[in-house]
Structure 1
Amino acid sequence: MGPMEGRTDLDSDEEIPFNSSPNARKVHPFDFETVHLAPHMGVVNSWIHKQSSIRPLRSIYIVLLKAKINILLPFGPLAILLHYLTGNHVVVFFLSMLGITPLAERLGYATEQLAFYTGPTVGGLLNATFGNATELIISIYALKNGMIRIVQQSLLGSILSNMLLVLGCAFFTGGIVHYNKVQVFNEAAALVNSGLLLMAVMGIMFPAVLHFTRTEVHFGKSELALSRFSSCVMLVAYASYIFFQLKHQHSLHNLNCNIDEEEGVSEEGSEEEEAPEITQWEAIGWLAVLTLWVSVLSGYLVDAIEGASDSLNIPIAFISVILLPIVGNAAEHASAIMFAVKDKLDITLAVAIGSSTQISMFMIPFCVVVGWLMGKPMDLNFQLFETATLFIAVLVVTFMLQEGKSNYLKGLMLILCYLIVAASFFVHMDPSNDDN
């Protein structure tokens, strides 16, 4: 009985090796096993204390290392380095584009993470603000340098890219994946966006028509005054549209999202995907860091545009309308295709057509107002060729969305339309080179 009682005391002491109270250590001060466990206790305690310092490392891993597209991140610093070492505009231009591409995608990711904490209303505003942050930063930097035509053409290219290329790829991919199923979307919401796009075309068309018909009351001044007035009206219209969406369609949007989540939980494991991966303040910090880094790279990208155009003998219009928007729309492109594959076309349209609506009704008028404050003659006269291209593209997309259904043929047609637009700008010579 004596040995058994001693063994029982030993067992009871072994069960509390992680107890840091002094009494626990004084039960058997010379027991071999207790002394043997002491170093392990120190290791465990130090591991616990290090968790607070590991959290930033985990955030860096999630944002900067986890996504496969982050393999392009080193091209940004390399572009800056080669800018000062070689001065090769072609290399700097393409490396800057490659470096900005993952930043645009990560901006979208950080915005989505922050939306988990702010709720759907503020989250929608954040998506509207940071969804096209790359294009806005590039445009403001070019506007500051007086490159008005580059601002106009890059914003026009973003609209065309979202409407034709992004939406076309989403429709085509979703139609291939769901070959035996008719994909449908909210026709009413799509037509509202189409109406706003047509309103934007009207605002852009009238200054161009006024200029080319030579019917201005004050030549060179009436066109600019009309552009600024129309921009203010378009900003009011877009603000009203956002207010209507967030207030009057809030409950319906949440209902549709809940239905989609319930249908996808068993198949896709949506419960895990819906949980935030980083904290609220980490998301805010990453938004600030990524926006600052995009603004730095945008400066080198804009500075290298003219040199790259001369070296490659490629029109600046093609670079501004086709190449630059592909960089800024990387996040929208991936998101639209992903949601189309999951048969969530309403979200796909919100990404593609909603982004086009935001650029045409908010970013373009906003750049006109910013140019007004800077003393730059930024107007809505996008020249006749660009205005006609935008008008026809909006008509094509509007007819595609009328039925409220999608298939791979519609997607292929939109992609082919974008190829025609790209080829047209490749052989197009900008008549207004004085602004560049």
Structure 2
Amino acid sequence: MVNKIFFILIVIGVPLSVAGSLLHWSQILMFTVYCLTIVSLAAYMGRATESLAIISGPRIGGLLNATFGNAVELIISIFALKEGLVEIVLASLTGSVLGNLLLVAGLSFFVGGIKFKRQKFNVYDARHNSGLLMFGVIVAFVIPEVFAMGMDDAEAISLSIGISVILIVLYLAALFFKLVTHRGVYQHNEENGAEPHHEEPEWSKKKAMIVLALSTVAVGYVAESLVHTFETVGETFGWSELFIGVIIVAIVGNAAEHASAIIMAYKNKMDIAVEIAIGSTLQIAMFVAPILVLISLFFPVQMPLVFTLPELVTMVTAVLLTIVISNDGETNWFEGATLLAAYLIMGIGFYLL
């Protein structure tokens, strides 16, 4: 039933998006159409990556889901950078970190925890990810803020470029570590109550890849149109660029992995759910954000890797809370509720700021 609704929204939404952008319809109306269309397309991207996850295993499947989920936000951010909306891009990166660690992980733990008393996942992966979260968010985002206080804009950009290159190299090294040199070394040997992994994928590998490719192209077109509505929507509803970036763009841009992680948790496939939520955060911090810094060099307005104080404090808090909750390799519904409560508190703060 839900899949039919998303299909109908795509069939209606994509033509409406094209017509609305060409005929200059009401930007408030089109903002709603664009958001619903992107979320629907993201749902199909989620279904495709879920099929690929069954075919290729939890680690690669989670990585694929995070990558294609983040592709939506990357596309939106590139068009926003082209328009000079640096504050919205930085805010959307903040929103992705908060959304993945607190909203996605929180909903996954909560929904899965209602069905199962205790849910376990690979504790070795959790501890490995904890170190990367500390580095990718706290070290790489806080350090530029500290040093940028005594720098001019050109020096801040140079600092950001250097840090971005280091982040990308370390992220690629982390993938090489997990998928090549240490693949299978840290196996999760404990039984976590999950059903045997013998289910058939919904789509074949070829069909899933075609759906992913077409959905990504469609999202790219709709995302460019969505960016042009931000200013009007902000003025109409009294939303700041910070709120639009942290909450609206982040939720719309990460809709695919939001849905997939929750579905995986409900099926007690916590290794995939955690890999989507935390793996996506690491990809945002250590790959997407640095790539956007480098891409911004080709636009009139460059983007330094320097966040506002509220953005930094909330991201650091989200990382520390996630590490404390996930480091034992198991979770329950109350821990999910704790993460969700933290997200709501921060959301209220950004709305009122």
Asked if TM exceeds 0.5, the reply is yes
Which residue number in structure 1 is paired with residue 87 of structure 2?
Answer: 149
Tell me which of the two structures has the higher relative contact order, counting C-alpha pairs closer than 8 angstroms and 6 or more residues apart: 2
Contact 2:48 2:211 in 1 (8 A): yes
Deviation for aligned residue 1:135: 0.6
Deviation for aligned residue 1:308: 0.6
Which residue number in structure 1 is paired with residue 340 of structure 2?
Answer: 415
Matches of 2:63 and 2:351, distance apart in 1: 36
Deviation for aligned residue 1:127: 4.0
Matched residue type, 2:295: V
Matches of 2:292 and 2:240, distance apart in 1: 23
3-state DSSP class of the match of 2:153?
Answer: coil
For the structure 1 residues 423 and 155, does the alpha-carbon distance in structure 2 shift closer, same or farther, using more than 3 Å as the test? Answer: same
Matches of 1:188 and 1:122, distance apart in 2: 16
Contact 1:138 1:295 in 2 (8 A): yes
Contact 2:265 2:273 in 1 (8 A): yes
Deviation for aligned residue 1:405: 2.3
Which residue number in structure 1 is paired with residue 32 of structure 2?
Answer: 94
Q: 118, 123, 139: which is aligned to 1:202?
A: 139
3-state DSSP class of the match of 2:195?
Answer: helix
Matches of 2:301 and 2:258, distance apart in 1: 32
Q: 296, 300, 303: which is aligned to 2:225?
A: 300
Deviation for aligned residue 1:317: 1.3
Q: Percent identity?
A: 38
Q: 1:213-292, aligned counterparts within 5 Å?
A: 215-216=150-151, 219-251=152-184, 264-265=195-196, 271=198, 273-275=199-201, 277-278=203-204, 280=206, 282-292=207-217
Between 378-387 and 339-348, report the one with greater CA deviation: 339-348
Between 231-240 and 129-138, report the one with greater CA deviation: 129-138
Give the root-mean-square deviation of aligned CA atoms.
2.7
The TM-score normalised by the length of structure 2 is: 0.90
For the structure 1 residues 136 and 69, does the alpha-carbon distance in structure 2 shift closer, same or farther, using more than 3 Å as the test? Answer: same
Which residue number in structure 1 is paired with residue 76 of structure 2?
Answer: 138
Matched residue type, 1:391: V
Contact 2:62 2:279 in 1 (8 A): no
Contact 2:69 2:253 in 1 (8 A): no
Deviation for aligned residue 1:77: 2.7
Contact 2:47 2:260 in 1 (8 A): no
Question: Whose Rg is larger?
Answer: 1
For the structure 1 residues 202 and 121, does the alpha-carbon distance in structure 2 shift closer, same or farther, using more than 3 Å as the test? Answer: closer
Which residue number in structure 2 is paired with residue 108 of structure 1?
Answer: 46
Q: 1:342-381, aligned counterparts within 5 Å?
A: 342-374=267-299, 376-381=301-306
CA deviations over 1:348-403 (Å, ceiling 9, x no partner): 11011111111111100111111124464111101222111111111111111233
Contact 2:296 2:302 in 1 (8 A): yes
CA deviations over 1:273-316 (Å, ceiling 9, x no partner): 42452452x43333332111101100110000111111111112
For the structure 1 residues 117 and 423, does the alpha-carbon distance in structure 2 shift closer, same or farther, using more than 3 Å as the test? Answer: closer
Between 311-320 and 119-128, report the one with greater CA deviation: 119-128
CA deviations over 1:110-155 (Å, ceiling 9, x no partner): 3444567778887666445323110111111111222111111112
CA deviations over 1:47-72 (Å, ceiling 9, x no partner): xxxxxxxxxxxxxxxxxx95543232
Which residue number in structure 1 is paired with residue 261 of structure 2?
Answer: 336
Q: Which runs of 5+ in 1 are unaligned?
A: 1-64, 429-436
3-state DSSP class of the match of 2:143?
Answer: helix
Matches of 1:110 and 1:342, distance apart in 2: 17
Which residue number in structure 2 is paired with residue 390 of structure 1?
Answer: 315
**Number of aligned positions between the proteins:** 351
Contact 2:93 2:246 in 1 (8 A): yes
3-state DSSP class of the match of 2:84?
Answer: coil
For the structure 1 residues 121 and 338, does the alpha-carbon distance in structure 2 shift closer, same or farther, using more than 3 Å as the test? Answer: closer
Contact 2:145 2:306 in 1 (8 A): yes
For the structure 1 residues 208 and 166, does the alpha-carbon distance in structure 2 shift closer, same or farther, using more than 3 Å as the test? Answer: same
CA deviations over 1:230-256 (Å, ceiling 9, x no partner): 010011110010000101342358x65
Contact 1:76 1:98 in 2 (8 A): no
For the structure 1 residues 192 and 246, does the alpha-carbon distance in structure 2 shift closer, same or farther, using more than 3 Å as the test? Answer: same
Q: Which runs of 5+ in 2 are unaligned?
A: none
The TM-score normalised by the length of structure 1 is: 0.73
Deviation for aligned residue 1:83: 4.1
Matches of 2:204 and 2:234, distance apart in 1: 41
Which residue number in structure 2 is paired with residue 69 of structure 1?
Answer: 6
Deviation for aligned residue 1:166: 0.7
3-state DSSP class of the match of 2:328?
Answer: coil
For the structure 1 residues 123 and 163, does the alpha-carbon distance in structure 2 shift closer, same or farther, using more than 3 Å as the test? Answer: closer
Which residue number in structure 1 is paired with residue 240 of structure 2?
Answer: 315
Matches of 1:380 and 1:303, distance apart in 2: 23
